[in-house]
Structure 1
Amino acid sequence: MLADITHIKLAVVAAGFQSLEKSLALDLNVPVIKKPSDKYDFILRFTAQGLGLEPVDGRSGAVRVDFAAGKSRHRRVFGGGKGQQVAKAVGMQGSIRPSILDVTAGLGGDAFVLASLGCPVTMVERQAVVRALLKDGLARGELDIDVGDIVASMRLKQGDALSVMESWEGVAPQVIYLDPMFPHSGKSAQVKKEMAIFRDLVGSDQDADPLLAKALDLATHRVVVKRPRIAPDLGQHKPMYRLEGKSNRFDIYVNKSFSSK
């Protein structure tokens, strides 16, 4: 099932990047406008910092993908290397750097961490607007002297997760990574602007349960599901084991050990 954005009023704002603006508007089937208008919920705007998504009501600044700065740089430099929970969850140990298929890539944060630690990562993001932000970030990241080699090991595939997995050809990924959107109630301060905007655009991933079943069929070694710490098991399918943090956990489903011959 593809993510539907027909309930969202979206436009591209003309900002002097004419060819990029026209191409993006065509891809998303949205208009190019001269200036922001309250007729729309969100605008997409190209600047020297890249493509940004902005809520017209001004509740937050632009959301964009930048692998060379901000949170991505902090996680790369100070995140803890292969001692991080996400690295342990995918089975990283010694010289093992498994191939990863991240089928709910979002803005690519976890995928970038895994790529920075040496894992080849293929990403899938079905939501068209989020995919556009990720594609723009990858294009800029490849040109950056500090992260260009890392970003070069990250590949973005077109399509939704189920269709990508069902039509997979060639060598299967060793690990499939799932971080489905979880329904959220309340207005916790921990809900960051990216997540709040994602919920407006996407809602929750109602088809996450079938994703797990298909992932278990395709992954050669394991499936890793990132969940809020108190969330129920995805598809009521109990994992082999968990790694728990303060607010999130990783549920690990093992098909085969990396030490197996």
Structure 2
Amino acid sequence: TPVRVDFVEGGAAHRRLYGGGSGQMIAKAVGVAQGVRPRVLDATAGLGKDAFVLASLGCEMSLIERQPLIGALLEDGLARGAEDFEVAPIVARMRLLKGNSIEVMRDWEGEPPQVIYLDPMFPHREKTALVKKEMRLFRPLVGDDPDAPALLAAALALASHRVVVKRPRKAPCIEGVKPSHALDGKSSRYDIYPKKALKS
């Protein structure tokens, strides 16, 4: 079956309806709380799944995807989402930006995002369970993210309140500044780099 971005049906719909709302770990990591819905830049948007979850919780999202083919899939998914009665208000909070994430962050104009979310391509693992179809398709296109340290540095320079990095649970932190703390899940964790407190 084809790979496409679908915010209306399938996994996105299930997570929107039954995913646990603001109790989800990603929501806690970016600072969603009572009266707090930060402006978030997802600088490694991919298929937009995490950004859609945060937008469905009320966060204003900017997304950057540097791989043009994946960016085109994302653009198509956002356009179809905008035609759905229930999903349209959510994708209206998602703004897609084109270009290299590091350059876009370094050249940012206007009010900076409060939170920057990074989910760089996980280091390639041998002898592991078969990864999802999307990832099997994308790895030859995208490769690993050897510039993850530069991505983190650019994010830390731009974000006004915090940077959040998603990592495999047992993977080392990205080289550079160390996170102050992390939220651990079953297979992944969120490294958190705070700059100042988010307030309602």
1:111, distance to aligned residue in structure 2 (A): 0.1
Q: 1:230 aligns with which of 158, 170, 175?
A: 170
TM-score of the pair, normalised by structure 2: 0.97
Whole-angstrom distance in 2 between the partners of 1:117 and 1:165: 24
Structure 2 SS opposite 1:143: coil
Deviations 1:123-165 (A, max 9, x none): 0000011001000000110011110010011000011101110
Q: Is the contact between residue 162 and residue 194 of structure 2 (CA under 8 Å) also seen in structure 1?
A: yes
Q: 1:192 aligns with which of 132, 137, 146?
A: 132
Name the amino acid aligned to 2:104: V
Q: Does 1:76 align with 2:12?
A: no
Q: Does 1:254 align with 2:194?
A: yes
Name the amino acid aligned to 1:205: D
TM-score of the pair, normalised by structure 1: 0.75
Q: 1:171 aligns with which of 99, 111, 116?
A: 111
Q: Does 1:102 align with 2:42?
A: yes
The alignment's C-alpha RMSD in Å is 1.2
Q: Aligned pair count?
A: 200
1:113, distance to aligned residue in structure 2 (A): 0.1
Deviations 1:8-57 (A, max 9, x none): xxxxxxxxxxxxxxxxxxxxxxxxxxxxxxxxxxxxxxxxxxxxxxxxxx
Q: Does 1:202 align with 2:142?
A: yes
Going from structure 1 to structure 2, the CA distance change for 1:190 and 1:115 (only over 3 Å counts) comes to: farther
Whole-angstrom distance in 2 between the partners of 1:222 and 1:246: 23
Q: Is the contact between residue 36 and residue 199 of structure 2 (CA under 8 Å) also seen in structure 1?
A: no
Q: 2:89 aligns with which of 118, 124, 149?
A: 149
1:225, distance to aligned residue in structure 2 (A): 0.1
Of residues 159-168 and 188-197 in structure 1, the stretch that sits farther from structure 2 once superposed is: 188-197
Structure 2 SS opposite 1:243: strand
Q: Is the contact between residue 117 and residue 164 of structure 2 (CA under 8 Å) also seen in structure 1?
A: yes
Q: Does 1:87 align with 2:44?
A: no
Q: Is the contact between residue 64 and residue 137 of structure 1 (CA under 8 Å) also seen in structure 2?
A: yes
1:247, distance to aligned residue in structure 2 (A): 0.4
Whole-angstrom distance in 2 between the partners of 1:64 and 1:249: 26
Name the amino acid aligned to 1:62: P
Aligned-residue identity in percent: 61
Structure 1 SS opposite 2:189: strand
Q: Is the contact between residue 125 and residue 161 of structure 1 (CA under 8 Å) also seen in structure 2?
A: yes
Going from structure 1 to structure 2, the CA distance change for 1:208 and 1:122 (only over 3 Å counts) comes to: same
Whole-angstrom distance in 1 between the partners of 2:2 and 2:83: 22
Whole-angstrom distance in 2 between the partners of 1:200 and 1:146: 35
Instruction: Give the match for residue 100 of structure 2.
Output: 160
Deviations 1:146-193 (A, max 9, x none): 100100110000111011101101100000000000222225335111
Q: Which has the higher contact order (CA 8 A, sep 6+)?
A: 2
Provide structure 2 residue ranges, at least 5 long, that are not aligned to the other structure. Answer: none
